[in-house]
């Protein structure tokens, strides 16, 4: 019960890493506010938690809109009387090079994947300060560490999240801890357009020779959200099966 009686808000909680984290947090005693733009999948997460004996509440909203983010935070406070943990997890992206992306695609990616975290901080941190402290965890990506073709906007957003992590940690220490988890190749709904052949190719780029599961990222988020990481802030944890730590070469090339 690492999060016993703590109130946690998780964006993008209807699927993937968000759902896995919401489920794990509830198992660890948290009261979970699940936020998602998709009402059906968000409610499914809540129903699953409640059927297992946990406490959860759903709120629908688009993290790219300030009014919706304000409503998410307000719902958590009104429903459970406070807010101890925020997991800024929701994201979206449009693929393309700098010359291929439209302004709309760039703005959508940056709004949902970077600006949303600032908006969550703006709305949630005052409540945490009023309570005497809290924890803010961000889902970043190994895209913040390495370049990958055709992900210009997404990599800009995820790189910005690392800088934002340090800024928030500096501004709100010692009362609020802010850290980021950097997943690698984790199979979520964002992978739906990726073929099985490409999924296997990506798996072979990882030292562990497989793609990750959302539940494996949720374990790292739990670490950052709980007192197990009590001496960490302004930092990041890479959970990528070795994807960003090695250089894969074609079979016919050796150094």
Backbone angles phi, psi at 191, to 5 degrees: -90, 0
Strands 176-183 and 55-60: unpaired
The Cα–Cα gap between 110 and 104 comes to 10
**In residues, how long is the chain?**
255
151 catalytic residue (yes or no): no
Cα 88 to chain center, whole Å? 5
The Cα–Cα gap between 24 and 138 comes to 16
Tokens of 222: 């739990």
Contact 28, 58 (CB under 8 A): no
Q: Of 80, 151, 154, 172, which is the active-site residue?
A: 154
Q: Please tell me whether the peptide bond between 174 and the residue prior to it is cis, using omega within 30 degrees of 0.
A: yes
Contact 86, 136 (CB under 8 A): yes
Contact 236, 162 (CB under 8 A): yes
Q: At what angle do helices 16-27 and 39-51 cross, to 10 degrees?
A: 20
Active site residues: 154
């Amino acid at each position: 019960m690492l999060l016993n009686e703590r109130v946690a808000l998780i964006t993008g909680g209807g699927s993937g890493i968000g759902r896995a984290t919401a489920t794990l947090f509830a198992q660890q005693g948290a009261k979970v506010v699940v936020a998602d733009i998709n009402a059906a999948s968000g409610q499914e997460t809540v129903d699953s938690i409640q059927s297992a004996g946990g406490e959860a509440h759903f709120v629908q909203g688009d993290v790219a809109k300030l009014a919706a983010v304000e409503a998410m935070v307000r719902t958590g406070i009104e429903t459970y009387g406070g807010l101890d943990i925020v997991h800024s997890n929701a994201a979206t992206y449009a693929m393309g090079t700098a010359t291929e992306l439209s302004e709309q695609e760039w703005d959508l990616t940056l709004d949902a994947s970077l600006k949303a975290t600032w908006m969550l901080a703006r709305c949630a941190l005052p409540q945490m300060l009023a309570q005497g402290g809290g924890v803010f965890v961000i889902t970043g990506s190994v895209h913040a560490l390495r370049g990958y073709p055709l992900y210009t906007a997404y990599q800009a957003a995820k790189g910005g999240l690392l800088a934002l992590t340090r800024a928030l940690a500096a501004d709100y220490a010692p009362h609020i801890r802010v850290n980021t988890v950097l997943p690698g190749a984790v199979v979520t709904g964002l992978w739906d357009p990726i073929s099985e052949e490409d999924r296997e190719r990506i798996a072979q780029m990882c030292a562990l020779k497989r793609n990750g599961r959302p539940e494996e990222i949720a374990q790292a988020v739990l670490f950052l959200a709980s007192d197990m990481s009590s001496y960490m802030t302004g930092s990041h944890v890479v959970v990528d099966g070795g994807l960003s730590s090695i250089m894969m070469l074609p079979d016919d090339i050796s150094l």
